[in-house]
Copies of this chain bind each other. A is one copy, B any other.
Amino acid sequence: MTEAEIQAAIHDMGRRARAASHALVRLTTEDKSRILLAMAKGLEEGSAPILAANARDLEAGRQKGLSAAMLDRLKLDERRLGQIAQAVREVAALPDPVGEVLAQWQRPNGLRITKKRVPIGVIGIIFESRPNVTVDAATLCLKTGNATLLRGGSEAIHSNVALAAALQQAGEAAGLPPDSVQLLPFTQRSSVEVMAGMDQHLDLIIPRGGKGLIEKVVSCARMPVIKHYDGVCHVYVAPSADLEMACEIIVNSKAQKPGVCNALETLLVHREIAAQFYPRVAVALRQAGVQMRGDEQALPLLGEGAQPASEEDWRTEYLDLILAIKTVASSREAIDHINAHGSHHTDSIISTNADEVAQFLHEVDSAVVMHNASTRFNDGGEFGFGAEIGISTDKLHARGPMGLAELCSYKYLVEGSGQIRA
């Protein structure tokens, strides 16, 4: 196919997705639940072609020399497919946010205004290798009445095509409008640009993947993009902190799952407690296998194995068992450091001083600000959202954990009895 033919094909998919979105609006909560349960069953009962497609991707991956870790992320088997199907059943069981009345009031002229939650319309999802994202994204979008146009990475193309076909086929048998779940059969880099340019068909794009992918989408998208950028997360230990609690929270924030965006990257410690606290936390961090990179004041107190930190460390998301450590003279300095060097993701203060806590929570400009808690709690599941499509680092529309409600828009219903404007 030529570039022009690919472009025309993607535009046609966009047009059909828009038509599907209008049909999706007419489904009830019960309709959507029935369809989601049918999809879950379809994934399990139709596992043979999905696993065969996945075997092709794995074979191609081995030939391309993908790492064992990447091959493992790509791999599907009956057990994993069962887990994916189970997650779909859980989405089906969640409350439906669509139709919720967000506000209602009457104007002096008698007009009654209702602000109601509605689907967004058509959502484009651009993602990298993991094939479970196909199912995850499509079903969360369907639950909220949105049509999806999915574009996955080349490593998982056969698996993705098979999964999307299974979802659409099982869904249609249960009443899903045609074209509600479409996966691009193209993995050319230009297909991202085509999607990002068609704001007449897509209301939103969500890139799920590394910084390069997000950057690519941001640079060419004409429609809103919800970004899930880095988490350069901080814990600040104030002089009044319970130091035992601080050690536990720091180790948990850093080491419980270091490869994720809500893991701790920079520790800030008030200088008043430096001499007392650094040796203590260093023991706990060493025990957890964490490499320390400290500033001048911290370094001699951290002991064995600690390295000097550079300016670059204050802006780095390691996603690894490495921790930058800086000493500050005040909570003011801690707040300013976080606002200037962080990524506005998740920041926590360990303190027992109410005024200082209130100031930190108020002035740190991050999606989630915490007191005496691990940064790892910035998560849709931990917030009780039931499901999440990611953790937004944007400030518009969705900030922080992005659940079903954030996959919706709203509209106003204005009911009158002949009112005209004077």
Question: Contact residues of A with B, CB < 8 Å?
Answer: 21-22, 25-26, 105, 107, 111, 113, 120-121, 199, 203-204, 218-219, 222, 224, 226, 242, 245, 248-249, 252-253, 256, 336, 339, 361-363, 365-374, 376-378, 382-384, 394-397, 399-401, 409-421
Bound together, the chains give a CA A284 to CA B413 distance in angstroms of 27
Nearest CB in chain B: distance from A197 CB, A: 10
A and B contact pairs by CB, cutoff 8 A, 29 listed: A25-B363, A26-B363, A105-B384, A107-B382, A120-B396, A121-B365, A203-B395, A204-B396, A224-B224, A224-B394, A226-B396, A245-B418, A248-B420, A249-B418, A252-B420, A256-B421, A361-B413, A365-B411, A368-B411, A370-B414, A374-B419, A376-B420, A377-B414, A377-B419, A382-B421, A396-B396, A399-B410, A400-B411, A400-B412
Partner of A120, one of B222, B367, B395: B395
Residues of B within 8 A of A245 (CB): 418
Q: Are A416 and B370 in contact (CB under 8 A)?
A: yes
Question: For residue A113, which residue of chain B has the nearest CB?
Answer: B383
Residues of B within 8 A of A370 (CB): 413-416
Bound together, the chains give a CA A31 to CA B279 distance in angstroms of 44
The copy count of this chain in the complex is 2
Contacts A25-B365, A218-B222, A394-B224; A373 near B419 (Cβ below 8 A): yes
Interface core residue of A249, A253, A377 (most chain B CB under 10 Å): A377
Question: For residue A370, which residue of chain B has the nearest CB?
Answer: B414
Residues of B within 8 A of A419 (CB): 372-374, 377
Bound together, the chains give a CA A373 to CA B401 distance in angstroms of 39
Nearest CB in chain B: distance from A212 CB, A: 15
Bound together, the chains give a CA A7 to CA B324 distance in angstroms of 34
Contacts A400-B411, A409-B396; A420 near B256 (Cβ below 8 A): yes
Chain A at the B interface: mostly helix, strand, loop or mixed? mixed
Contacts A204-B396, A382-B421; A411 near B367 (Cβ below 8 A): yes
Q: Are B25 and A416 in contact (CB under 8 A)?
A: no
Residues of B within 8 A of A25 (CB): 362-363, 365
Q: Are B396 and A411 in contact (CB under 8 A)?
A: no
Q: Are A411 and B399 in contact (CB under 8 A)?
A: yes
Bound together, the chains give a CA A180 to CA B215 distance in angstroms of 29
Residues of B within 8 A of A409 (CB): 395-396, 399
Question: For residue A250, which residue of chain B has the nearest CB?
Answer: B420
Nearest CB in chain B: distance from A235 CB, A: 12
Q: Are A414 and B371 in contact (CB under 8 A)?
A: yes
Bound together, the chains give a CA A401 to CA B226 distance in angstroms of 22
Nearest CB in chain B: distance from A367 CB, A: 6
Residues of B within 8 A of A421 (CB): 252, 256, 374, 376-377, 382
Bound together, the chains give a CA A365 to CA B413 distance in angstroms of 11
Pairs A-B, 7 closest by C-beta atoms:
A373-B416, A252-B420, A397-B397, A376-B421, A395-B409, A245-B418, A224-B396
Q: Are B372 and A418 in contact (CB under 8 A)?
A: yes
